[in-house]
Amino acid sequence: MKAKLLFLVVAVLSTFLGGAEMDVNFNKAFYEPGELLILQVKGMDRPMDYTVSVSRNLVQCVSLSGSVSHENPVIEISLPYEKGGYGLDVTFDNNLTISRGFSILDNWLESPRYGFLTEFYSDRIDIEVNMDYLAQYHINGLQYYDWMYDYGKLVYEEGTVYKDAWQRVREISTDVIRDLIDAGHRRNIFSMAYVALYAVTRELGEMNPDWLLYEKKGDEWNAVSFYERILLADNRASSGWTAFLLEECAKTIDLGFDGIHLDQYGYPKDNESFTLEGEHYKPYKTSLAFMEFFDSLRGKVDSKAVFFNYVNNWPKEIQDRANLDVVYIEPWESCNTYADLHAMIVDARKRSGGKHVILAAYIKGAAENSILLADSLIAISGGRRLEVGEFMRILSGPYFPGADVATESLLNTLRDYYDFQARYEDFIEGDFIDGEELTVGTTCSSTPQANSVWLTAKKSDAGIMINLVNLTDIRSDLWRRRQRRPKFLENLSLNIPRAWVSGGAAIYFCSPDGFLRQIRLEAHPEGDHVLVKLPQLRFWTSVLIVEQ
């Protein structure tokens, strides 16, 4: 029976990864300098000849040709040693060209693209194919949500199978966790263990009252809790709780995880709670205690990755000092509009000294237009969105196992968006420059707002990237709302300052909406501007200006 089920699961997933239509799939989420890239060709109906072009910042750096067949459906490409974003274009003898993007990195934290896992039950049989699926989105880091045995005691040491800490319903197998970690490593995908950094079971907390945080209600002092089920503890370096949790985190790393993803609940804020020292209650600065814990954890897990959830972007004031690898934000009521979202990301990048920003920005899976608009804005602003993980699921709320089922159409589109961000990463990672002189022949704005085209420009060593996001005809400035599909715009006239286009510069059009491979545009000088015609603007379109 299990063998039959395995066959059915693999058949379904394999169809998604490349079925009736031809496709090419990566074998890894990213590649190291000089590594061998292996492409799997899917959907052939006969042996075929091909040519391959690999480019970096629009300049071809690898070219090869060969043939593939059902017996040998593989293309092998020896990659360059220079790190960055790369374009891949494979043209077959039926005139079909498949364009994709990928990254060359030394380490996943140089360009983290974060996903999630929630299923760790003993009979899980889709591990290999699910990891192949994630590699197509360049997901190189995974949060293992609620994998732990309990709040406090993380690793189960009395066997290999247990129930989840929150409900004691979902089965979890440490063998399956290890298999997932190992399967990820074979694809350059790294695994982060979810840990609530101040959450302790009521039983353990009441046995150690000096670990806990307290609040005064009337004349009584009560331990601060989360839904009355979990108590909150003191994260200072001197705390007994910190010493206990550090040992548990070390056991977590010994289990095989590549890092720790720390969570909190957004409270208590500084000076809203107290610690018990002897018989006295003393005010507690939560944000400073968090930073002490980060430093203590670094000393315990050595070079392993450490993330922390800035719930509702709190406490953002420590982002410039926090000893963390990224800025991970779960936005709530402090971030509601597209303008809020953009400003929050830009501020976090600046405040943290340029660290990557990852957002757990929840949008319902049925709101596909909203997802694409938010993903476009987040990427342009300098962030990445946590949304892809378990097969055909899209993260839609704070309880990850409740992720929505996503349509195949949305997931195919998202793959193009992730390819686009990898392919043109060197442009996207540029610095914003003043784009006030840009016009596009329709209502536009330098800040993202409804009923306009959001028009911005960035500059990097790769060149200038002009980004257009289509917010015309949407219902609202609120990014979580279910939006209408923006009005399709075509043949737009983009006016570019002539000073941006030197004598030898070329101008290109590209878009994750069907134009991953760039198209050169004809430039028409008009006074102090240069005019180009853009084929279309569906959600996100870019114009690249590069020296030749």
Structural domains in the chain, CATH included, are: 21-104 (2.60.40.1930), 431-547 (2.60.40.1180)
- Which residues in the chain land under pLDDT 70? 1-20
Burial grade of 369 (CB within 10 A; 0-12, 13-18, 19 or more): middle
Q: How high is the pLDDT of residue 1?
A: 43
Q: Which residues contact 98 (CB under 8 A, 6 or more apart)?
A: 22, 23, 24, 89, 90, 92
Could you give the residue ranges of the DSSP H alpha helices within 29-145? 127-136
What is the per-residue pLDDT across 121-159, written as a single tens digit (0 to 9) for each?
Answer: 999 999 999 999 999 999 999 999 999 999 999 999 999
Q: How high is the pLDDT of residue 16?
A: 54
CB 272 within 8 A of CB 280: no
The Cα–Cα gap between 300 and 179 comes to 25
- The H or E element that residue 214 is part of is strand 213-217
Core vs surface per residue 260-270: b (16+ CB within 10 A) or e: bbbbbeebbee
The Cα–Cα gap between 410 and 139 comes to 17
Instruction: Identify residue 212 by its one-letter amino acid code.
Output: L
Question: What's the half-sphere exposure (Cβ side, CA atoms, 13 Å) at 520?
Answer: 8
Q: How high is the pLDDT of residue 504?
A: 81
Q: How high is the pLDDT of residue 548?
A: 83
Q: How high is the pLDDT of residue 4?
A: 44
The Cα–Cα gap between 61 and 76 comes to 15
